[in-house]
Amino acid sequence: MKKPTALILSLWALSPTGAKPNILFIAVDDLRPELGCYGGKQVQSPHIDKLAARGTTFHRAYCQVAVCGASRASLMTGLRPTWKRFLKYDTFAEKDAPDAMTLPGELRKNGYHCLSNGKIFHHKNDTATRSWSEDPWKPDMGGASFIDPKSKSMIGGRKKRGPVLEGPQVPDNAYPDGQIADKTIADLKRMKKQGKPFFIACGFIKPHLPFYAPKKYWDLYDPADLELADNRTLPRHAPSSLKGSGEVHNYHDRGMKYNSDEWHRACLHGYYACVSYVDAQVGRLMKTLDQLKLSKDTIVILWGDHGWHLGEHNFWGKHNVMHLSTRSPLIVSAPGFKPGQTCDRLVEFVDVYPTLMELAGLKTANDGLQGTSFKPLLEKPGLAWKKAAFSKYGPAVSLVTNRYNYAEFKNGEKMLFDLNSDPDENVNLSTSPKQKENLKRLGRILKDGWRGVLPPTAKR
């Protein structure tokens, strides 16, 4: 009886009506798994938590490059980075992979109406003609979208991007993310009337720097209650090649002493306010799906393009291969699958393209995909799965296993953390004689690459 039951479940997953399911694809910039559904104790994220209760939350999801443009290009093309492809924040998929089919492009060829709102690719018009059914839409970002005249006066000079934070008393749609939600809601209503299967990509810009959000989201938190990172030093035996992001230095500190407790607390407050602001926009989208009676026919996927440091190791940002930079949220709610599931198996963002194609009941014509559909994990979250996830950034290539985070740098340096005994990555074990054989083993896995760690059921 098990096989017929699984077959019925898989067929129903397409849509209760048997039609192609709609897809609402929510991308959140710089969102690490600092959410209630991931065990976050300080941040308030009730709407994303509610989405998680409707779907499957992946606790071990990893980006392939810990920087916006490259990570997005990798996911949307289903291709992994190389030393010549998908390297930086300003990556153009059009230039790095000119012949690659994109996820929305293939869905469009299969009858989907594909829309892009907000930040999906780093550049609004990247692969536009072969990806989208309409011109991509993005709100005006003039003046970096600051509202306070004092903030605007800080743009220019050495700290040319303006202040690191802002929180005026304004409505949600005074800032771009509220406008992106408005546009996506309008498109959901339009697509409902049109009756054609849709793929709507909605890309929120926060909690990316600078930290601006309406005052009501700042008011959710008392900064005095916020717990700062207790490991604001480099890991012991850290390789000289390990660096943090310098992005925060582009912003004005608003009179605070950089790296002081006051500064750390203010930035943490800002990050959380921005997460709660975006969370509210996600809630608006989910409410609209329910009101339009589209929820039972729509796959909803929410992901953060990479992780982020919130002061740990004295880093603010991404831009390395530490666990906090490569691990990111991934939540999938699809018709026909059990709600409220969690999955601890290793998945990668390069897997999203083939997964959504399979969930849509479509056979991809793209034989160059370098990811693996994780649809089986939606059916059985505890299924035996891939043994490692791969990432790279700058001079480093890395892999994460169930237990270790291992990296090799171009200059020969190595980095090894035992995530079981040292989840905060405070001690680099690569110089320990006790790890000699383990380093050889992990080095072989890294050299053999992603094809050597595929799930037992995957094609190699």
Write the pLDDT tens digit of every residue in 387-428: 999 999 999 999 999 999 999 999 999 999 999 999 999 999
Range of the domain at 365: 2-386
- In this predicted structure, the answer to whether residue 2 has a pLDDT above a threshold of 60 is no
Q: What is the pLDDT of residue 16?
A: 54
Average pLDDT over every residue of 325-345: 98
| Extended strands (E) in 3-101 | 22-28, 56-58, 61-62
Q: Does a structural domain hold residue 20?
A: yes
Which of 177, 270, 259 is CA-nearest to residue 223? Answer: 270
- In this predicted structure, the answer to whether residue 8 has a pLDDT above a threshold of 70 is no
* CB 349 within 8 Å of CB 62: yes
Which of 160, 116, 168 is CA-nearest to residue 139? Answer: 116
Average pLDDT over every residue of 263-292: 98
Q: Does a structural domain hold residue 111?
A: yes
Average pLDDT over every residue of 343-369: 97
Q: Which of 37, 63, 68, 202 is catalytic?
A: 68
% of the chain beyond a pLDDT of 90: 89
* CB 65 within 8 Å of CB 391: yes
Of 330 and 11, the one with more pLDDT: 330
Q: Which of 59, 113, 122, 319 is catalytic?
A: 122
Average pLDDT over every residue of 11-17: 49
Enumerate residues 6+ apart whose C-beta is below 8 A from 412: none
Residue 3's pLDDT band (cuts 50, 70, 90): very low
Q: Does a structural domain hold residue 392?
A: no
* Overall domain count for the chain: 1
> Is 237 designated active site?
no
Lowest mean pLDDT among 44-48, 148-152, 232-236, 391-395: 148-152
Q: Does a structural domain hold residue 322?
A: yes
- Backbone dihedral angles phi then psi of residue 159, each to the nearest 5 degrees: -95, 65
* CATH number of the domain residue 71 falls in: 3.40.720.10
At 419, is the secondary structure helix, strand, or coil?
A: coil
> Is 274 designated active site?
no
Enumerate residues 6+ apart whose C-beta is below 8 A from 339: 53, 54, 55, 333
Q: Does a structural domain hold residue 235?
A: yes
Q: Does a structural domain hold residue 406?
A: no
Q: Does a structural domain hold residue 265?
A: yes
Q: What is the pLDDT of residue 7?
A: 39
Q: Does a structural domain hold residue 45?
A: yes
pLDDT tens-digit readout, 77-94: 999 999 999 999 999 999
